[in-house]
Amino acid sequence: MTAKLPPPAPANPLAVPRAPLLPPTTRSRAALGLASAAAERRFALQVCAACAAVQYPPREVCLACLGHHLPWRDVPREGRVLATTTIRISADPYFRTRTPWRIGTVRLACGPVVVAHLHGDVAPGASVRMTLRLDKSGQGVMLAMPAEDSANMQDDPQLREMTCDPRGRRVLVTDGRSAAGQAIAAALQAAGAREVFLGVAEPWRPLPGRDRLAGSAVDLDCTDEDSVRRCAASLGGRVEILVNTALHVRPGGISAGTSMATARAEMECAYFGPLRLARHFGPALRARAADGTHPACAWVGLASVYGLAANPAFGGFSAAQAAALSLLQSLRAELRPIRVLRVLTGPVDDEWHQANPPPKVSPAALAAAVVGALRDGLEQVAVGDVAQDFLARFRDNPDTLARELAG
């Protein structure tokens, strides 16, 4: 049974921090499908369109019929352990600093044999639930979990290399002025975060909800370079998860309905704000990504699905959100082993979406999604029915979606 992880011990100032190494990163193009599934908590493998044979390792051509159309499909997770080993000497620098490391051979009920990381509670010969996870290099890997939940199972050291559980970690939520920011801060505190810092811009202004803020308010205005720099100088070495919740939503199009000032403010919030955060917090976060028992682990960015395909009724906002998504994609590559989680939302239930029909996303739903995605180490979560529907349409055909949105 997994031992409960004790709270973080005080850092030893004399100890050399563990370097933020990456596990092996190179993959074939076909194998990247594992990461796409893992990013969203799915368990998907290639399934031959011609003969339905399930494939693993990822292939170009079917092992049973040589068919070349191998779409990724969700498949059953059940499996049984055929063999196990504990690697005590590794040739790879990342694993060398994490041995002993357990792996096993698992036969999946849907056919393939998988060499997988093993959760510590998986016994030889046991039935398992196979999961796809993102490892510290951001690649999709197999992790066999016990068939039944066990106590403290989230604390398994190998599982923790692939997750970003907020428990015991210090979190900065950038926008304490938004309902979403306040809800996310409260949820992270409830999830056992060691400390929650809530950024509040222009603190002299009235702050609705100030009396019931979860965590401690810190002076942070992402539109102000100097404010971000000062906040990073004070908190940069003490934050393990950064959650950027800033969303600046105004209705209005491109040629009319939006002032240049509004367009600039949207861009400040969606692009230049996170850019400042990345430049001032990113390097320190990354440098501490393997340090101690509760290393820095995640960067969370809240963004609208309109960044995927523009909604002309929110044309300026959509353009700014496209910039936000583009920034997150580059940041994901730069910050590894820090996980960059993008939280896609549809219209939030606030004063700026009065004209949108329900369902709209509540701050509490956003908060629950962020905590759940961190616990499972995801890279993407679409919150609410609108965002999920939007994402499904986008994946089906982005061009068709753009035409649907044009009305």
Partner 1 sequence: MIRHGYEGVVLAAPVTIPYQRHSIHGAAWWIGRALAEALRAAGLRPADIDGFCCSSFSLGADTAVGLTQHFGLSPRWLDHIPMGGACGVVALRRAARAVQAGDADIVACVAGDTSTPDSFRQQLQSFSRFATDATWPYGGGGPNASFALLTDAYMRAYGATREDFGRICVAQRQNALAFPHALMKRPLDLAHYLAARPVADPIALFDCVMPCAGAEAFLVMREETARALSLPAAHLRGAIERHHAFPDDPIQLRGGWAMDRDELYAMAATTPAGIDLLQTYDDYPVIVMMQFEDLGFCAKGEAPAFVRAHDLTAAGSFPHNSSGGQLSVGQAGAAGGYLGLVEAIRQLTGQAIGAVVPGARTALVSGFGMINYDRGLCSAAAILAAP
What residue ranges bind partner 1 (CB under 8 A)? Answer: 23-24, 26-28, 30-31, 56-58, 82-92, 94-96, 99, 101, 103-105, 107, 113-117, 124-125, 135, 137, 139, 141-142
- Sign for the pseudo-dihedral over CA of 220, 223, 227, 233: positive
Residue 285: CB minimum distance to partner 1, A: 24
Residue 83: CB minimum distance to partner 1, A: 4
Residue 137: CB minimum distance to partner 1, A: 8
User: Which CB sits closer to partner 1, 81 or 267?
Assistant: 81
User: Which CB sits closer to partner 1, 83 or 406?
Assistant: 83
Residue 62: CB minimum distance to partner 1, A: 13
User: Which CB sits closer to partner 1, 59 or 73?
Assistant: 59
User: Which CB sits closer to partner 1, 122 or 142?
Assistant: 142
Residue 261: CB minimum distance to partner 1, A: 49
User: Which CB sits closer to partner 1, 56 or 271?
Assistant: 56
Residue 56: CB minimum distance to partner 1, A: 7
Residue 116: CB minimum distance to partner 1, A: 7
- Please work out, in degrees rounded to the nearest 5, the angle formed at the alpha carbon of residue 122 by the alpha carbons of 116 and 126: 95
Q: How many CA atoms lie within 13 A of 12 on its CB side?
A: 8
Count CB atoms within 10 A of the CB of residue 121. Answer: 21
Residue 296: CB minimum distance to partner 1, A: 22
Residue 101: CB minimum distance to partner 1, A: 5
User: Which CB sits closer to partner 1, 56 or 317?
Assistant: 56
User: Which CB sits closer to partner 1, 45 or 382?
Assistant: 45
User: Which CB sits closer to partner 1, 71 or 398?
Assistant: 71
CA-atom Rg of the chain in angstroms:
22
Residue 157: CB minimum distance to partner 1, A: 13
User: Which CB sits closer to partner 1, 58 or 282?
Assistant: 58
How many whole angstroms separate alpha carbon 316 and alpha carbon 165? 35
How many whole angstroms separate alpha carbon 179 and alpha carbon 171? 17
User: Which CB sits closer to partner 1, 49 or 113?
Assistant: 113
